[in-house]
């Protein structure tokens, strides 16, 4: 195994070369001994490997699951009460949890962030964000009633018609792209699945 210096002490470290965000481990979660970043035998990528029990700790991308919630001609947006992008608007979405399906996760996030009950529709968008190791999975969904209100991580939840959309106050590029495709599809009268990649702008 080839040893590589552990790059930084912060739990989330952004590489100055590739701009990727890496979750730094210092200790083995199985035995508590220090770990080192090494390329295991037969592998091609560096992993955190325990110096004592030799457990290899793999890290993998996470899924963010959510909904484009429709009510007549409007879309439900949530104003973020948490970082990152505090105060900006997004669709209800969040990290998929163990033990659930993508659509169950999207339903749960919509309930948690906007106390909104929805019926999940077709998969609408899949966006890769490789530099932060995330994949967004967004469904179209039908709002079932108007009895929604902001959850704990939301300042305000409200319906927006297209001509009211706060385009310069959208929290994430994934959401802005998805909504742009959504309105374009709606004008064309046909919704189709969209897949894409959000690249970080190199400084």
Binding site for its own copies (CB under 8 A): 11, 18, 20, 22, 25-35, 42, 45, 48, 55, 57-63, 95-104, 123, 126, 128, 130-131, 133, 135, 137, 152, 193, 195, 197
User: Which CB sits closer to its own copies, 17 or 146?
Assistant: 17
Q: What is the nearest approach in angstroms of its own copies to the Cβ of residue 115?
A: 14
User: Which CB sits closer to its own copies, 74 or 128?
Assistant: 128
Q: What is the nearest approach in angstroms of its own copies to the Cβ of residue 163?
A: 32
For every residue of 44-83, DSSP letters joined together read SS-EEEETTT--EE----EEEEEEEEEETTEEEEEEESSS
B/e letters for 156-178, b = 16+ CB within 10 Å, e = fewer, are ebbbeeeeebeeeebbbbbbbbb
74 pairs with which residues across the strands?
71, 161
User: Which CB sits closer to its own copies, 54 or 73?
Assistant: 54
Q: What is the nearest approach in angstroms of its own copies to the Cβ of residue 109?
A: 12
Q: What is the nearest approach in angstroms of its own copies to the Cβ of residue 2?
A: 18
Q: What is the nearest approach in angstroms of its own copies to the Cβ of residue 48?
A: 8
User: Which CB sits closer to its own copies, 74 or 133?
Assistant: 133
State how far the Cα of 29 lies from the Cα of 178, in Å rounded to an integer: 38
Residue 33: C-alpha distances to residues 15, 39, 47, 49, 52 (Å): 25, 18, 15, 10, 6
User: Which CB sits closer to its own copies, 122 or 166?
Assistant: 122
State how far the Cα of 155 lies from the Cα of 164, in Å rounded to an integer: 18
């Amino acid at each position: 195994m080839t040893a590589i210096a552990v790059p930084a002490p912060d739990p989330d470290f952004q590489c100055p070369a590739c701009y990727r965000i890496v979750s730094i481990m210092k200790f083995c979660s199985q035995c508590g001994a220090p770990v080192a970043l090494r390329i295991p035998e037969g592998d091609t990528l560096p992993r955190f490997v325990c110096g004592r029990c030799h457990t290899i700790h793999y890290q993998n991308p996470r899924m963010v699951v959510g909904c484009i919630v429709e009510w007549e001609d409007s879309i439900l947006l949530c104003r973020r009460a948490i970082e990152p992008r505090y105060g900006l608007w997004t669709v209800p979405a969040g990290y998929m949890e163990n033990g659930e399906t993508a659509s169950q996760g999207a339903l749960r996030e919509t309930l948690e962030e906007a106390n909104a009950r929805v019926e999940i529709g077709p998969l609408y968008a899949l966006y890769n964000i490789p530099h932060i190791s995330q994949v967004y999975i967004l469904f179209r969904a039908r709002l079932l009633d108007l009895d929604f209100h902001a959850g704990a991580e939301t300042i305000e939840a409200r319906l927006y018609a297209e001509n009211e959309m706060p385009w310069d106050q959208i929290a994430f590029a994934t959401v802005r792209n998805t909504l742009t495709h959504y309105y374009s599809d709606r004008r064309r009268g046909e919704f189709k699945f969209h897949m894409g990649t959000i690249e970080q702008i190199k400084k």
